[in-house]
Amino acid sequence: MNFWRDQKVVVTGGAGFLGKAVVNELQQRGCSRIFVPRQKNYDLCDAKAIDRLLKKIHPDMIIHLAAVVGGIGANRENPGKFFYENLMMGVQLMEHARLAGIQKFVAVGTICAYPKFTPVPFKEKDLWNGYPEETNAPYGLAKKMLLVQAQAYRQQYGFNAIYLLPVNLYGPGDNFSPDSSHVIPALIKKCIDAKNNHEPAITVWGTGKPTREFLYVDDAARAIVLAAERYDQNEPVNIGNGAEISIKDLVGLIAKMTGFKGKINWDHSKPDGQPRRCLDVKRAQREFDFRAKIPLMQGLRKTIKWYSAHLSALRNS
C-alpha cells in the first residue's frame, strides 16, 4: 500500500478489458494517481503524441497494455496491422520512457510469442527455440520485440523494464464481437445465441484437439500489479495457472453451462492454431508470489452470467 501511494502510473490500454481490471487492482492497492491515455487524444503509434503524453503526466511508471488483438480469424485478416501497430506502440513508448527518465516500464507481452511446437509446460527459457504459430506470428513477434528492447535497454542504459507473458485471458467485460473475439467469449456467445434462437447446432473452428490455458482477468491484473511492484529482473515471466484444457472439452463445458443442448459441428477447414498451450508458472510464484485464485469453472460461471445480463446492451452496441 505504501509503495503505490506515491506512484504516478500511466496505464496504456487502461480502458480495455484487461486494463480496467489492472486500474481497479491499482486502486485497491492504494494508487490514486493513475492516468489512462485514450487513442483519440494520444495515438501511441505517433512519437509526438507519446512525447506530449509523457511531458504532460510525468509518470513514475508505465504499464503498457495497449494492443491490437483478436482471435485466429482477426489475426489472419490483419497480419500487417497487428504487426505494425503493436510494434510501433511498444518500441516508441519504451524509447520515450527511457528518454524521459521513467523509473519503471512494465511490458505485457503474449503467449503467442512462444514457438509453435514448445514443450509443455512452456518454460521461459524456450521462448527463442522456434518460430511462433503462423496465424499469430506477426502479432506474437511484434510483442516479443519488447522483450528484446527491454533487455537491451537494461544492459546499455540501466533502464528498469520488465516483460510479462500472460496466457489467454477471459472474464466479465471481455470482447464478444464475432469478428475479433477470443475462444471463450466466442463460444459463450455462440451457445447462448443458439439456445435463445432455438438453433439446432453451432459450428466451431478446427478439430477440437488443441489445448489452451486460460486465466481469469482479475488474476491476470493482480499478477501484473504484483510484478510492477516487486519484480525488477531481466528475464521474462509467464503469467498463468499452469492447467490446460482441450478445445473440445471446453466447448462441451460451455455448452453444458449455458444450457445449449444442440449439435456441435467442427469446421476442419479452419485452422486449429498452436497445438498446445500451458505455462510453467514457477518463476512468477518464486519472484513475486503470484498464484491464480479463480478456477476455470468459477470464472466461466461469472463470465456467462455477465454476458447474459448484458446481452441486450451488447446487441445494440
Nearest of 205, 230, 216 to residue 286 by alpha carbon: 230
180 lies in some domain: no
State the Cα–Cα distance between residues 206 and 248, nearest whole angstrom: 10
- What are 152-171's pLDDT values in tens digits? 999 999 999 999 999 999 99
Mean pLDDT over 247-256 rounds to 97
Identify whether 193 is part of a domain: no
Asked if the model's pLDDT at residue 292 lies above 80, the reply is yes
The pLDDT score that the predictor gives to residue 178 is 80
**Residue 104 forms part of a structural domain:** yes
In-domain check, residue 262? no
In a domain? residue 117: yes
Please check the confidence at residue 270 and state whether its pLDDT lies above 80.
Answer: yes
Is 231 considered catalytic here?
Answer: no
Number of domain units in the chain:
1
Which helix (H) or strand (E) segment is 167 a member of?
Answer: none
Q: How confident is the model at residue 139 (pLDDT cuts 50, 70, 90)?
A: very high
| Residue at 142 is within a domain | yes
- Domain hosting residue 150, numbered range: 2-173+214-243+275-294
Does 52 reside within a domain?
yes
pLDDT above 90: residue 273: no
**Burial class of 15 by CB neighbour count within 10 A (0 to 12, 13 to 18, 19+):** middle
What's the pLDDT at 317? 60
CATH number at residue 81: 3.40.50.720
Active-site position among 139, 153, 163, 307: 139
Answer whether 231's CB lies under 8 Å from 289's CB.
no
Q: Read off φ and ψ for residue 6, nearest 5 degrees.
A: -105, 5
> Does residue 258 belong to any structural domain of this protein?
no
- 1 pLDDT above the threshold of 70: no
Q: Which cell is 76 given?
A: 489472419
